[in-house]
Structures are given as C-alpha cells and as structure tokens.
C-alpha cells in the first residue's frame, strides 16, 4: 500500500512532471523518475528534520538542534556542509535562503502519505480501494529506527499512535464490507504491536464475533486477561468481558465504533 500511495504522489497536476519522493521508511533516500538516490550520511538528519517539520525552519535553530556540541559558528558550518553534500548528490529537495530552510512544496514524503492515509481511515473518508493491509506496517510503526533524537522520538510516537488507530479503524471498515478475515488480520497486527492496548483487543474480539467465532473471541479475552494481570495487576474492562460472553445486543449490532457508513 505504501508503494501505491507513493506512486499516486509521484506526478503533479499539469504537464508530466516527475515528483521527487523522500523515503524515511528504510531510509532516508530519495526516488526521482523511478531512480533511487542515496542521501549522504552527513546530510540525513538535516533532510529528515526538515521533512518532518514540513514548514520553514530558521537556519540557526536547525543548526543548533542538529549539532549542539560546539559553538554557533561550528554548527552553522556543519549545516552548510550538509547542504553542500546534498547538492553534490544531486538531491535538490530544500528551498534555502540566508535565514531559513524548508522542504519544497512538490516533494512527497512517505511518512506523510501514510499518516494522511491513516487519518482518512480514522475519519471514515477513505476511498474503498484504500481498505487494504499495508505490507510495510513495521516500518510505519517504527519511523527511523535507531535514531534517538527527541524530535524523532516525538514524530515516531505520533505516527505510531495514528497507525494503530488506523489499524483498528481498518478492521471495523473491513467488517462493514464483509471482509472478515482481513478484519481479523488488521486487528491482530494492532494487538501484536501493543498487546496491552484494549481498543486493539476489542477490535480483534469484534472481528472474531463478526465471523461467528465466539471461541476465538473468548481465547483472546483469556490471553489478554493473563497479560493484564501479569503486567499491571488489572482486569479487562467490564464492557469487553460482556462483549465476549454475551455478544452484541441484537442481530449484527456490533459496538458503535464498528458500524460504519458506506463510503463512495
């Protein structure tokens, strides 16, 4: 699905013009006209930082944040070197002036595309052909692994939460579309990432019940109860227990969050 999202973003309205794509999943690297361009090591953090901001950033602020170990003059020099390396690698993604930097408007960023797709799922404004399970969820849930800068940790958690909510929403939408096996798979992905997340467990139980698999639903509750007791000394919410043991309150009457309006 990530490939589909990127493919849709690689052209811009009007004359046929290639749109550069910055890949943060498995990167950073850049793809232009179908060709991959490697980002110089000394420029990766700068490019990722500006891409995740998606707004104009003062040069002094960027330099001080990315190279905090020395003087302002040295940080500014490091920034100039990083920009010079980008130009040398023929990676022209930034609009730069004497005071600031920003990502060019025509540059697509894979993390941004996935975040927007997740937002459409959560709000129910997605197109029916977007009801698919991405093959790169692990990357979407772990943005820039191995990077521990505060600004990376914040964006990583923000995207992680959005994707988890999207997986739960995807499961509900798939139930509404009658694609129960896929709904179970989407919910299982969310549970696998965060087993203590009750909304993910509820999505999985709801999917099993929609398929008529009450035994599977009870097994999920038993497993979840064991995890909660071991990790937190707590019990599942009464509403989740009641859902498993008593099922929906009427024929095909699933919890409110799983009843979706058909999308066009």
Which pLDDT tens digit goes with each residue over 62-80?
999 999 988 999 999 999 9
Q: Does residue 4 register a pLDDT over 60?
A: no
Q: Give CB contacts under 8 A, 24+ apart, made by 195-200.
A: 195/224, 195/227, 196/227, 196/228, 196/231, 196/232, 197/164, 198/224, 198/236, 198/237, 198/240, 199/165, 199/168, 200/164, 200/167, 200/168
At 141 the pLDDT is 85
- Residue with the larger pLDDT of the pair 226 and 259: 226
* Residue-wise pLDDT tens digits, 122-169: 999 999 889 988 777 778 888 998 999 999 999 999 999 999 999 999
- As a CATH number, domain 20-105 is 1.10.10
At 260 the pLDDT is 37
pTM here is 0.83
The ranges assigned to domains in the chain are 20-105, 110-258
Question: Which of these CATH numbers, 3.40.50.920, 1.10.357.10, 1.25.40.10, 3.30.70.3280, describes 110-258?
Answer: 1.25.40.10
Q: Does residue 254 register a pLDDT over 90?
A: no
């Amino acid at each position: 699905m990530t490939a589909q999202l990127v493919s849709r973003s690689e052209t811009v309205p009007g004359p046929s013009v290639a749109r550069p794509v910055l890949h943060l999943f498995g990167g950073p690297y850049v793809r232009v006209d179908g060709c991959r361009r490697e980002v110089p090591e000394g420029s990766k953090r700068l490019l990722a930082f500006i891409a995740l901001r998606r707004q104009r950033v003062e040069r002094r602020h960027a330099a001080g944040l990315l190279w905090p170990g020395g003087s302002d003059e040295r940080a500014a020099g490091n920034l100039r070197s990083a920009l010079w390396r980008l130009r040398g690698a023929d990676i022209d993604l930034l609009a730069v002036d004497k005071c600031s930097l920003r990502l060019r408007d025509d540059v697509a960023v894979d993390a941004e595309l996935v975040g927007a797709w997740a937002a459409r799922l959560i709000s129910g404004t997605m197109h029916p052909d977007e009801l698919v399970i991405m093959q790169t969820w692990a990357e979407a849930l772990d943005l820039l692994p191995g990077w521990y800068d505060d600004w990376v940790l914040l964006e990583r958690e923000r995207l992680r939460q959005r994707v988890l909510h999207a997986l739960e929403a995807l499961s509900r939408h798939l139930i509404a579309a009658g694609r129960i096996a896929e709904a179970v798979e989407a919910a299982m992905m969310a549970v696998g990432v965060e087993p203590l997340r009750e909304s993910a467990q509820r999505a999985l139980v709801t999917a099993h019940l929609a398929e008529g698999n009450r035994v599977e639903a009870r097994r999920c509750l038993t497993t979840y109860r064991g995890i909660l007791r071991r990790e937190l000394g707590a019990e599942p919410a009464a509403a989740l227990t009641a859902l498993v043991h008593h099922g929906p309150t009427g024929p095909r009457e699933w919890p409110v969050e799983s009843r979706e309006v058909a999308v066009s």
